[in-house]
Amino acid sequence: MTTASVNTTARGITPEEKKVIFASSLGTVFEWYDFYLYGSLAAIIAKQFFAGTDPNTAFIFALLAFAAGFIVRPFGALVFGRLGDLVGRKYTFLVTILIMGASTFIVGVLPNYNSIGITAPIILIILRILQGLALGGEYGGAATYVAEHAPEGRRGSFTAWIQTTATMGLFLSLLVILGVRTAVGEAAFADWGWRIPFLVSILLLAISVWIRMSMNESPAFLKMKAEGKTSKAPLTEAFGQWKNLKLVILALVGLTAGQAVVWYTGQFYALFFLTQTLKVDGPTANILIAAALLLATPFFLFFGSLSDKIGRKPIILGGCLIAAVTYFPIFSGLTHFANPALEAALQKSPVIVTADPASCQFQFNPTGTKKFTSSCDIVKAKLSAASVNYQNVAGAPGSVATVKIGDRIITSYDAAGLSKEDAAAKDKQLSKDLADDIKAAGYPSKADPEQMNKPMVLLLLFILVIYVTMVYGPIAACLVEMFPTRIRYTSMSMPYHIGNGWFGGLLPTTSFALVAFKGDIYYGLWYPIVIAMITFVIGMLFVKETVRNNIHD
């Protein structure tokens, strides 16, 4: 790809350019709104559609729902990326929003398990898979479309609007859910009110389709089509030729993998850490995260525009490096300011787990359905859930795991081979013994609002989201500029969705498994730190700066 001089001459945005940015961003906001609804209402949806199934069937459905949320997204990138490079950007991401909107609306009217039996969860999973496929095609189309309309020297600032849409979609979904919950009440919401946010999507879909129907095709695609240079086999060109496949791999390992873990750490793992580890109540944690996102969102645009001047690499890779270096002190600071009683207990009350190492598994459980039945796994999961740090001591082969808290020793149990009733009784007793001794050792059951320094917690969360804006603000322009026009949609969508759908999407479960494995509430941070550092090194060594690339070649 040839390079072009960057024209940074200040000029206003034309009405047509404003329309392109607005229409693309608005549609993408609505797609994220649809996608987040399922996650936000997962507990209610599970009761509505999975409650009547046997355990094995429920396990299969859980796997499929997980696949739709993460694994399916790259396949959507393949399907719609190919379509976008064959027939055009405009009509392809018009199709993706139709699929997403229609699938979401149908969830809102879908009869539950009690009404139509096993057909209900089957249809639900099909709809979720369609949503995942549609999301896999939407982002690449929107980013490519906006970038190909942007003038030279403005691609970062134009595509940065697309980068705000995931956050705004999350805001919109939470706002609608909160409004409906407040209006109808908790009981009615759990019964039928949960459907309303899904039904609202039909209005958002109508607005998006109406706007997008009036848009023009990308000028870069029209020029390529007029010259007869469109690709006849985008998938083969993108992934079957080393010249381009090398760029796809570099885009994944040297850009999007690190961007994804920083994004998920700043917006999702931080919330998980506040609520699950630091025991901050849900409403307070959500308000603090929402406030941090609101304050930091303009920085997506700032870093997108800055990347037009100094380049994409320094900002994206700089964000990865700074995040990797500062995650441990920032999360330690969150503990200090959000739950100082927990911080004191971690320092003063060491806990020791003695277990046969062969009985301790790495508790990676992305679907939430796998059972860990050894005495070691059971007690470690309970201690991790209680935010208790512990040391690991090797026990005798075949021995039952024990926990030493102060002077007291508690014996765990093996659930394998026990009846459901016996396992439940032993689990109840173990939970009570641990809870009593953990409390006696000074570990709080929840964060004390009176001791919480909310301004400092908000500041630290704001810093985490600033890292998100650094890595995410310029990424769309960077990916667009890496690949030739004829296979751009296909090529850029794949590394983006593997990075964000797999590397990022697996972060919470991987981090929890690391915490349970090591016995350190901060040990889960090694996952984003290692991935971010790999991206920094690979990106610095092998990824070329793209800001001067001529994307209309």
With CA atoms as reference, report the closest residue to 221 among 125, 415, 86, 115.
86
Neighbour-count burial of 223, counting CB atoms closer than 10 A to its CB (0-12 exposed, 13-18 middle, 19+ buried): middle
Count the residues in the chain: 553
User: How many Å apart are CA 61 and CA 124, to the nearest integer?
Assistant: 9
Confidence of residue 153 (pLDDT cuts 50, 70, 90): confident
E strands, 408-487, where?
408-411
Question: Which contiguous run of DSSP H or E holds residue 384?
Answer: helix 375-385
Q: Residue 517: is its pLDDT beyond 90?
A: no
**Higher per-residue confidence, 208 vs 395:** 395
Q: Residue 5: is its pLDDT beyond 50?
A: no
By percentage, how much of the chain surpasses pLDDT 70?
91
Instruction: Judge if 215 and 235 occupy the same domain.
Output: no
CATH number at residue 82: 1.20.1250.20
Instruction: Decide if 1 is inside a domain.
Output: no
**Higher per-residue confidence, 133 vs 471:** 471
User: How many Å apart are CA 141 and CA 80, to the nearest integer?
Assistant: 8
Instruction: Decide if 7 is inside a domain.
Output: no
Instruction: Judge if 56 and 138 occupy the same domain.
Output: yes
- Least trusted range by pLDDT, from 169-178, 244-253, 457-466, 532-541: 169-178
Instruction: Judge if 137 and 61 occupy the same domain.
Output: yes
Q: DSSP 3-state assignment of 203?
A: helix
With CA atoms as reference, report the closest residue to 489 among 227, 142, 246.
142
Ramachandran angles phi, psi of 2, nearest 5°: -75, 165
Instruction: Judge if 221 and 272 occupy the same domain.
Output: no
Q: How many CB atoms lie within 10 A of CB 538?
A: 19
Instruction: Judge if 359 and 331 occupy the same domain.
Output: no
What pLDDT sits at residue 8?
A: 43
User: How many Å apart are CA 288 and CA 271, to the nearest integer?
Assistant: 9
User: How many Å apart are CA 76 and CA 283, to the nearest integer?
Assistant: 34
Task: Please tell me the total count of domains within the chain.
Answer: 3
User: How many Å apart are CA 387 and CA 177, to the nearest integer?
Assistant: 30
What pLDDT sits at residue 220?
A: 63
Q: Which residue has the tokens 């404003």?
A: 18
By percentage, how much of the chain surpasses pLDDT 90?
32
Residues 37-55 have a mean pLDDT of: 74
Instruction: Judge if 97 and 221 occupy the same domain.
Output: yes
What pLDDT sits at residue 327?
A: 97
Instruction: Judge if 484 and 542 occupy the same domain.
Output: yes
Instruction: Decide if 158 is inside a domain.
Output: yes
Report pTM.
Answer: 0.84
Instruction: Judge if 408 and 500 occupy the same domain.
Output: no
- Amino acid of residue 551: I
Over residues 103-145, the pLDDT tens digits come to: 889 989 999 888 988 888 889 888 888 888 888 887 777 888 8
**Higher per-residue confidence, 324 vs 371:** 324
Instruction: Judge if 235 and 159 occupy the same domain.
Output: no
Instruction: Judge if 146 and 22 occupy the same domain.
Output: yes
Instruction: Decide if 5 is inside a domain.
Output: no
Instruction: Decide if 9 is inside a domain.
Output: no
With CA atoms as reference, report the closest residue to 36 among 134, 143, 133, 171.
171
Q: Residue 87: is its pLDDT beyond 60?
A: yes
Ramachandran angles phi, psi of 543, nearest 5°: -85, 125
Domain boundary among 440, 474, 489: 440
Q: Which 3-state string (H, E, C) describes 63-124?
A: HHHHHHHHHHHHHHHHHHHHHHHHHCHHHHHHHHHHHHHHHHHHHHHCCCHHHHCCHHHHHH
Average pLDDT, the chain: 85
What pLDDT sits at residue 286?
A: 79
Instruction: Decide if 10 is inside a domain.
Output: no
CB burial string 195-211: b at 16+ within 10 A, e below = bbbbebbeebbeebeee
What pLDDT sits at residue 7?
A: 47
CA 206 to chain centre: 27
Instruction: Decide if 68 is inside a domain.
Output: yes
Instruction: Decide if 528 is inside a domain.
Output: yes
User: How many Å apart are CA 142 and CA 470, to the nearest integer?
Assistant: 20
User: How many Å apart are CA 489 and CA 83, to the nearest integer?
Assistant: 9
Q: Domain limits at 282?
A: 231-348+446-553
With CA atoms as reference, report the closest residue to 445 among 288, 285, 281.
281
Domain boundary among 396, 421, 440: 440
What pLDDT sits at residue 59?
A: 55
Cα maximum dimension of the chain: 80
Confidence of residue 212 (pLDDT cuts 50, 70, 90): confident
Domain boundary among 197, 226, 255: 226
Residues 6+ apart with CB under 8 A from 355: 375, 376, 379, 380, 392, 393, 394, 395, 399, 401, 402, 412
- Amino acid of residue 401: A
Alpha carbons within 13 angstroms on the beta-carbon side of residue 20 total 26
Instruction: Judge if 201 and 123 occupy the same domain.
Output: yes
Q: DSSP 3-state assignment of 355?
A: strand
Instruction: Judge if 147 and 292 occupy the same domain.
Output: no
